Structure formats: C-alpha cells, structure tokens
Structure 1
C-alpha cells in the first residue's frame, strides 16, 4: 500500500545515520548525508521584491527570499509583522501589489493551476468544511487534487494512522477539538504529496504529544525530498527543528539564513528580540514596584 509521501522525489539530504521517520533534533544533527548540501539544492520557492499594502498600512515591504529543496524553513516575527500576509501571497490566496513568487519554477500568479498543484497549505485561519466527517474531508481534499478514489482511500487510512485520527474519521469535523482540527487540516494538505508545504502556525492549539508526532512526520517528509516553510511564535521549536530561518519585522526581512548563522552566539529568541526592539516594555514603569500596600 503506498504511503502518502511516497511520490516526493528523494534528494540526498537525509540526516545521516537516522532511520526514515525518526525524529531529528536539528541542533544535535546538523550534518546531512550526500554530496549535495541544502544550500546547493535547487530553489523551490523564490520570492522577489514582494509587497502588499492594505490602505495606508504597508504589510509587506519588498521581501526577497529563496527556499531550497529539502529545507525546513522557519518564518518568525512579532504579531503584525507580515508573516501571514507573505505566506498567503506565496500560496496564491492573496494577490501581491508587486513582486514575483516562483514555486518549482512556476509563477504562482501567471501559472496558478500548475504552481498550486505542487503546494500543500495549512492557513492561519482555518476554514474547513466542518459539516463533513474527517474521512469525507480528507477524501474530498484528495479528489479535489486530482487523485483517483482508490489512491485517496489508501492515503486517508495512512494519514489517519499517522496523525492518530482513526477514531475520529467518522465524526463531524465541527465536533473536533482545536488540536484535532489542526491535524486533519495538515493531513488534507499532505494528501496529494506536495513538493512544498506551507504551514502558518501549525502547532497552535496542538498538545505536546501531537506536536511531537507532527514534527516527526514533517521531518520524514523533508528527509525524503519535501520542503517545509512554516511560521511559528515558538522560537525554541524553530531553533531545534528548522535548518533555515527568516526574521520579519514591519514587513521586511531583517535577517535570514542558516539558523546557526542568524542566531550567532546566542539563542534564536535573543536574536529575534534584538531585531524586533524588545526588552523595553517595562521602561518608565518604576511605579509598578511601589506596591499599593
């Protein structure tokens, strides 16, 4: 029986000495096997001079990014930094004011049908057909992506097992918890075995055990040639799991590259706070220490 991710073209970037499917701590296992390093792999996602405004508010201001095949790429930034707007434009959900987005060599806005076939999407604000059961939603997602019924049914079974959804398949998605809803949405994004997976806050409302399970699935996906771009507020998670990161503040990329290069001698959180202008919240609030009693 084929697995949902079997059609992803393998690349020689699997983590050396780690069995496929095993969780990988990037901080402990930075080396990748094979002759091709991630920075030499083909560019899967290319963003050039991307901009978007809402009225007088500039949400994204001239962003440039390259994401290579086999990367686990994190996007971080404070609330309102432009992360969701950027990812919405990347996946064809929001038209940019200017700039270009290329996925696997295809312009997302000039050749949307072909480009979107290679993308799996988990948006920030989930809008699922929640009057369907989990099984119906996954089946619909697969057929919508052009898969035949037999293949879809096999992949639904595999994905349900991988995400721990077997007992929930026959329940309405409307009755799912927030974490289960996130998992079935991620399963829907994976069912057509995309080459690029774009995830906006995939671990929000997901319990730690389920999050570890999802990370393992994503690491297996990346090790076998897939590419993940995700946004998250969890700096520790990004530093531990991702190999590359971009820090976006006020709609601009202030730093991007390999995680170890971006964080320098400190943690990723310390570097993020430095660039985002943090550590100033308590200035001028000495009165707070006077106490009312």
Structure 2
C-alpha cells in the first residue's frame, strides 16, 4: 500500500527581499492529522514561511505543497486550507454572522453549508449571543474567537494558526486548545505558530524550530526536551527553545 503524501511538503524553500534573506532553504514534511508546532524568535521568518505556505507570498526559490497543491496556485489552495493570521481579516461594518457568511462566500460556499459546523464552534467559544452584533463592537478576544471559527468552518485539510490564543482569557484559551486537539482527531492537520511554549508542549505532536530563516531542530516536544535534559539534567521546552536559538544573535528584521 502506498503511504499517503504529507499534508505539507517543503523542499529548499527560500524567500529574499533584495539582499535580505527572510527564509533560507527550509525543508520539512508534516504528516496528515498532526499538530505541528512552529517556533522561532521574532524575526526568524515564521510569518514569511506561513505566508508562502498559504499562497500569500511567492517563494524566491524551492517548492512547497499543501494538501497536494502547489502553494503558488493560490486559487486552488484556498479551498484546502484555513488561515488565522496574527491580525485577522475582519470587516467592522459586518455582524459576526455576516463575517462568517462572507468568508464562506469567498470560497464559493453558502452560509447554510458551513453553519452546521460553524455555529457549534461559536457556541463553544461563548460568542453566540454576540453573533449578530457588529464586529466593530467586539473586544480583541471576541475578534480572535470569530477569526478562529472563520478559519476552520469549511473543514479545511490544513489549518494555519498564528498565535491563536492571543487576546483570550484563560477559559477561552483552554477551550481553543481543546478545539485544536479535536481538529486533529477529525483528521485536520494544524500548523501552529505561537510564542506560548506551554501550549505547544501540551498539544503539538511535532515541533520545528526556525532560527535566522533556517530550521535548526525538529521532533516531538519530548525528544527536544530530552536532548536538553541529557546535557543539562533538567528543563522543559522553553529551555530547549532558548538553547537552540541562542547560538547566533537574533536577526534584525
């Protein structure tokens, strides 16, 4: 039996802006139905990598496929992915319900076709009573909840989540972590970028550490921690991360 192709397959992926290399020769393969924690200090190239994988930025060189689709083919890719960027694209003049319906329409889907999935998520996140209010009256946490639902309401093959718990109170953050693990159980691949390392340690199956535009370590969180423990005798994912990204000065971009 032929093994299934990876959900995300990247070969020598690079992006340069003039003389500045934001991402330099990244290789990675992410299996289907896993949570992949994507870590790196500010300026490491995480956002640029995610923008290439979601078709928003064209690579300077290399290849990337998500759900079997070439990432340069944004028109085809959009139906297979969900994206929660760090600054979610929401329209203040719409209600929450209208925003979700608009996002569905962008993918040539009707609100009726996604509402059966979206509305339970809205309820789990405590947003039901505010769904018909204008987005310009939403708090940061409410906007984040709405943006998460928007990213996954069409049941994507791969969900790209950038700082998904930003602005959430502890209860809402816990619910969102639970929803991410449920997505994984349903077979969705989750590409998770966050600075909150305990979240990654809790829910990620595999972690990739990006530093200065290059992938410097990859493996299950427990393995990265164990490698650090072998050398220092104790530690957690935060210690391992700091050690992996301290060999060189942080890039100034």
Matched, 1:124 2:86: yes
Q: In structure 1, how many angstroms separate the alpha carbons of the residues matched to 2:190 and 2:114?
A: 22
Instruction: Tell me if 1:59 matches 2:22.
Output: yes
Unaligned runs of 5+ in 1: 1-39, 281-293
Number of corresponding residues: 239
Relative to the length of structure 1, the TM-score reads 0.77
Contact 1:139 1:156 in 2 (8 A): no
> C-alpha root-mean-square deviation of aligned residues, in Å?
1.7
Q: For the residues of structure 2 that align with 1:199 and 1:47, how far apart are their CA atoms?
A: 18
Matched with 2:10 is 47
Q: How does 1:115-154 map to 2 (within 5 A)?
A: 115-154=77-116
Give 1:225's match in structure 2, choosing from 183, 187, 211. Answer: 187
Structure-2 residue corresponding to 1:275: 244
Residue of structure 2 in register with 1:104 after alignment: 67
Contact 1:163 1:187 in 2 (8 A): no
TM-aligned CA deviation for residue 54 of structure 1: 2.2
SS of corresponding position for 2:78:
helix
In the TM superposition, residue 41 of structure 1 has moved relative to its aligned partner by 5.9
Alignment of 1:171-182 (within 5 A): 171-182=133-144
Query: 2:200 matched to which residue of 1?
Result: 238
Partners of 1:205 and 1:157 in 2: CA distance:
21
Match of 1:158 among 116, 120, 127: 120
CA distance in 2, matches of 1:115, 1:127: 18
Find the counterpart in structure 2 of residue 34 from structure 1.
Answer: none
Alignment partners' CA distance in 2, 1:153 and 1:244: 31
Who wins on radius of gyration, i.e. which is larger? 1
Q: For the residues of structure 2 that align with 1:120 and 1:74, how far apart are their CA atoms?
A: 16
Query: Are 2:34 and 1:71 aligned?
Result: yes
Superposed displacement of residue 100, structure 1: 1.0
CA distance in structure 2 between the aligned counterparts of 1:139 and 1:154, rounded to whole angstroms: 12
